[in-house]
Amino acid sequence: MKKIIIAIDGHSSTGKSTLAKQLAKALDYIYVDSGAMYRAVTLYALEQGFISDKKLDTDALISNIKNVNIEFKKQGNNPTVLFLNNKEVSSKIRGMEVSNLVSKVAALPEVRKCLVREQRRMGEQKGIVMDGRDIGTVVFPNAELKIFMTASAQTRTQRRYDELNAKDETVVFDEVYENITSRDYKDSTRADSPLTQAKDARVLDNTNLTQSQQYTIVMDWIKDLID
Ligand code: CDP
């Protein structure tokens, strides 16, 4: 069976990672959450004090970017636990503090250059599912399958709110809505690698789809490509 690259892009909280993980497991492919890498750089900037009062010291972050080491390691049943400079940060990067700042960090061309280089290296052997905002347009423009995921903002907010609320009951629905819609706006309008649908991407609007319906649709696309 042929090994391919599966690039999944789309709006915030459309369930890209959930789908990507299911596909990687079924196909025995590597899964890479590129958003987690941008979130890790944002956490690094916060921890180093490069962000105060929501202001990012761009020069300080760029001159220290070589000191950021991001790794996905296997831990127990989970093959993709995120480590930032040898510290496990998987849940820290999901909080609202990082979510509210990540699009600012992700707009910096110097940050993107470093992470895209790393992402391409991970895909050299194919057999990879990567999700993000620029995977089918910039990172792997020749990916055999490109999926562009979307859903209504209300549906996406409800899903993310439920996920965050399970860990932290102080989360406010309107704050999650504001975060999702403002990230979409920033990600789609930035100069470097904006979120756009690749010309050859297949659109998956999952507002009214269950996870299993969505999985069946995508697996049918994949079967046609790998057989
Ligand atoms: O999980 P969610 O869809 O909310 O976001 P994410 O995939 O964790 O990505 C977080 C942020 O990282 C996005 O809002 C973008 O600003 C940035 N990002 C990016 O610029 N390029 C990527 N390939 C992936 C994420």
Confidence of residue 227 (pLDDT cuts 50, 70, 90): confident
**pLDDT for the residue numbered 164:** 93
Total structural domains within the chain: 1
CA of 9 to the centre of ligand 1 (A): 9
Q: Is the CB of 39 under 6 A from ligand 1?
A: yes
Rounded Cα–Cα distance for residues 37 and 93 (Å): 9
The SS3 assignment for 82 reads strand
**pLDDT for the residue numbered 176:** 97
In this prediction the pTM is 0.96
Q: Select the more confidently predicted residue: 17 or 79.
A: 17
- Name every residue whose Cβ is closer than 8 Å to that of residue 84 and which is 6 or more positions away in sequence: 40, 43, 44, 68, 69, 70, 93
Rounded Cα–Cα distance for residues 112 and 145 (Å): 22
The pair phi, psi for residue 91, each rounded to 5°, is -90, -30
Rounded Cα–Cα distance for residues 203 and 184 (Å): 17
pLDDT, averaged across the chain = 96
CA of 125 to the centre of ligand 1 (A): 24
Average confidence (pLDDT) over 34-44: 98
Nearest CA among 71, 46, 72 for reference residue 60: 46
Question: What digits encode the pLDDT tens for the residues 180-205?
Answer: 999 999 999 999 999 999 999 999 99
Q: Is the CB of 90 under 6 A from ligand 1?
A: no
Confidence of residue 111 (pLDDT cuts 50, 70, 90): very high
Q: What does DSSP say about strands 145-150 and 128-132: parallel, antiparallel, or unpaired?
A: unpaired
Domain that holds residue 14: 5-226
Contact 220, 196 (CB under 8 A): no
**pLDDT for the residue numbered 79:** 83
Question: What digits encode the pLDDT tens for the residues 130-166?
Answer: 999 999 999 999 999 999 999 999 999 999 999 999 9
Average confidence (pLDDT) over 21-49: 97
The SS3 assignment for 36 reads helix
Q: Is it the case that residue 10 has pLDDT exceeding 90? A: yes
Q: Is it the case that residue 36 has pLDDT exceeding 90? A: yes
Confidence of residue 77 (pLDDT cuts 50, 70, 90): confident
Q: Which long-range contacts (CB under 8 A, 24 or more apart) does 66-74 make?
A: 68/40, 68/41, 68/44, 68/114, 70/37, 70/40, 70/41, 70/115, 70/118, 72/32, 72/33, 72/36
Which amino acid residue places its CA nearest to atom 10 of ligand 1?
35
Read out DSSP for 112-154?
Answer: HHHHHHHHHHHTTT--EEEEESSIIIII-TT-SEEEEEE--HH
**pLDDT for the residue numbered 4:** 98
DSSP assignment, residue 201? P
**pLDDT for the residue numbered 39:** 98
Q: Select the more confidently predicted residue: 57 or 75.
A: 57
Q: Is it the case that residue 1 has pLDDT exceeding 90? A: no
Rounded Cα–Cα distance for residues 52 and 33 (Å): 27
**pLDDT for the residue numbered 53:** 87
Q: Which CATH number characterizes residue 93's domain?
A: 3.40.50.300
Tokens of 106: 């992700």
Q: Is the CB of 95 under 6 A from ligand 1?
A: no
